[in-house]
Amino acid sequence: LLTDESCTIYDIPKIEDVTIIKTLLERIGAEVEESRPGTLRIQAGAIRNLTHQDLNDITGRSRIPITMSGPLLKRFAQAAIPKLGGCKIGPRPIDFHVKALHQLGADLVEDEDGEEWFKTATPLKGATIKLDYPSVGATIQVLFSSVLAEGITEIHNAAVEPEIMDLVAVLQKMGAIIEVDTDRVIRIEGVGRLGGFKHHPIPDRNEAVSWACAALATNGRIFIRNAQQSAMMTFLNKYRQMGGGFDSTDDGITFYRQNGALLPVNIATDVHPGFMTDWQQPLVVVLTQAGGVSKVGETVYESRFAYIEALRKMGAKITVHQGTMPEISHFKTRRAAFQTAEIHGSTPLRGATIEIPDLRAGFSYVIAALTAKGVSTLRNFSVLGRGYEQIIAKLQSLGVEIIEVRA
């Protein structure tokens, strides 16, 4: 959307989040061509603006469309504001996005139908933006909105996840001028236009962690092709401490259990380079099989332990406490924990019928089902298609007895 030239992206997975954005791009007139499996060529030349009707069709299914606001403001001087979708893991206000875009020159307005829009009377202009929290989504929003803005933009307290750095690399290929300092400051010098690009995105470290946890919980051995050690170092430290082993090569990483028994650990989630919030759900299941008491503090989202009730149904002994417990208070996180899960192991799990509420919790239930004695039924399984490509085929390739039952 930032250029009218052809852009080619390789190694694209067949997941729902990709389908949603592909559908939105096609709906507004962009050319989207799959030249071969996993490769998309996109050209957004003569396009129209997104409407609320376009967005309402995918409301509740993805939180990605909010990041389209900046590029659309540049093209049309207005952008429809979608409701944030995705996983139900606590409040995800768009306050960060609204505040940042306002500082760049956009206003939040409501039309006669009660629909909200970002609008600009003049082109966006560079500004110094200090994020209250290093939000990945808000950082992406400012990057998209400032690369073609007039003047200099500085993002203070920016997110610096590997995915952000990969996005910076794409924008730089297009002609953007972006500097990343060591103190979470990203400096963008606006340019007049951007060109096309060709890019291989980095591998999905969240999926790699999910399969690594499956190997550890079941005492199995899983090779994850293209998994990158450098993007998972904080996780791998905890993996070792728990008794996990891994062999890293240029082709990927093999995960397994180093010794017979698993050991408890204490963890506090945080923004990168801390322990990712998306990693705690699968790891909590592993910790139910560790001998002793583990504590996991969640500092990123307020309600990310809602999935634990289903694990209790399967036999897990987990108590959720409000706030930070002393055992994790020494972790140097951006903010204190909203909640802390106390896991008592080792606890045998038993099969159960469970409703999957969101993406990462869903995979944690898969791990629990693999670990449990008996048969488990996971309802709303299609949620996993948002972020895991061909998950049933992958499970079957590992020897899992799994049958998909369609209503």
Q: Which are the catalytic amino acids?
A: 87
User: Would you give the DSSP letter of residue 275?
Assistant: B
Q: Is 355 helix (H, G, I), strand (E, B) or coil?
A: strand
Q: Is 200 helix (H, G, I), strand (E, B) or coil?
A: coil
Output phi, psi for 153, to 5 deg. -120, 135
Tokens of 210: 């999910």
Tokens of 278: 């998306």
Separation between Cα atoms, residue 294 and residue 282, nearest integer Å: 14
Among 8, 2, 286, which residue's Cα sits nearest to residue 124? 2
Separation between Cα atoms, residue 50 and residue 48, nearest integer Å: 7
Tokens of 215: 């190997």
Output phi, psi for 293, to 5 deg. -110, 125
Contacts by residues 163-167 (CB-CB < 8 Å, ≥ 24 positions apart): 163/136, 163/202, 164/136, 164/139, 164/140, 166/201, 166/202, 167/140, 167/143
CA dihedral 160, 333, 137, 57 (to 10 degrees): 140
Q: Check: CB of residue 349 under 8 Å from CB of residue 373.
A: yes
Radius of gyration of the chain (CA): 22
Alpha carbons within 13 A on the beta-carbon side of 342: 10
User: Would you give the DSSP letter of residue 64?
Assistant: G
Q: Does a cis peptide bond (omega within 30 degrees of 0) precede residue 282?
A: no
Among 44, 46, 34, which residue's Cα sits nearest to residue 9? 34
Among 151, 3, 27, which residue's Cα sits nearest to residue 80? 27
Among 165, 1, 149, which residue's Cα sits nearest to residue 68? 1
